[in-house]
Amino acid sequence: MRKRASLVRTLAYDPPVILMDEPFGALDAQTRMQLHADLLRLWNLKRKTIVFVTHDIAEAIALGDRVLVLSRAPAKVIAEHRVEIPRPRDIDHLVAAPGFAALFERIRQALA
C-alpha cells in the first residue's frame, strides 16, 4: 500500500517526467504485478514520460515503449530496443504476446 501511495503522491505533483529507480524490487510477485497494472493505468490517463530503471527484462518490456541497455560504470547506452507489443498490454499474459520471446532474447543477448 505504501508503494501505491508513493506513486499517487508523485503523480499528484504533476511532474513532466517521473524517475523510478527499481521501485518494485522489494515486493512480492503478486503485489508487483498489481502495481505494474496500476502504473500502466495511471500512465494511460496522463501519458507522462517515465524513466523506469529495472534489472528485470520482462518488467522493462511490460512497462516500456523503449528498453535501453546500459554498460557497466561509467554507464553508456549500448543497445536500444523498441517494444512493438501493442497497448493496452495484458500483464498477466504478456509472455505469450507475439514478439515477446524474441525481444526478451535480444535484450538478454545485449547484456552478455
Dihedral sign, CA of 72, 33, 21, 16? positive
Cα angle, residue 42 at apex, residues 8 and 95 outer, rounded to 5°: 120
pTM for the complete prediction?
Answer: 0.85
pLDDT value of position 1: 65
Quick one: which H or E segment has residue 49?
strand 49-53
pLDDT value of position 48: 85
Mean pLDDT, rounded, for 11-31? 84
- Average the pLDDT over each of 7-16, 36-45, 90-99, 102-111 and give the range with the smallest value: 7-16
Burial class (CB in 10 A: 0-12, 13-18, 19+), 39: buried
Mean pLDDT, rounded, for 59-83? 95
Cell output for 83: 517494444
Grouping H, G, I as helix, E, B as strand and the rest as coil, residue 40 is helix
Q: Which domains does the chain have, with CATH numbers?
A: 2-111 (3.40.50.300)
Cβ(87)–Cβ(39) below 8 Å: no
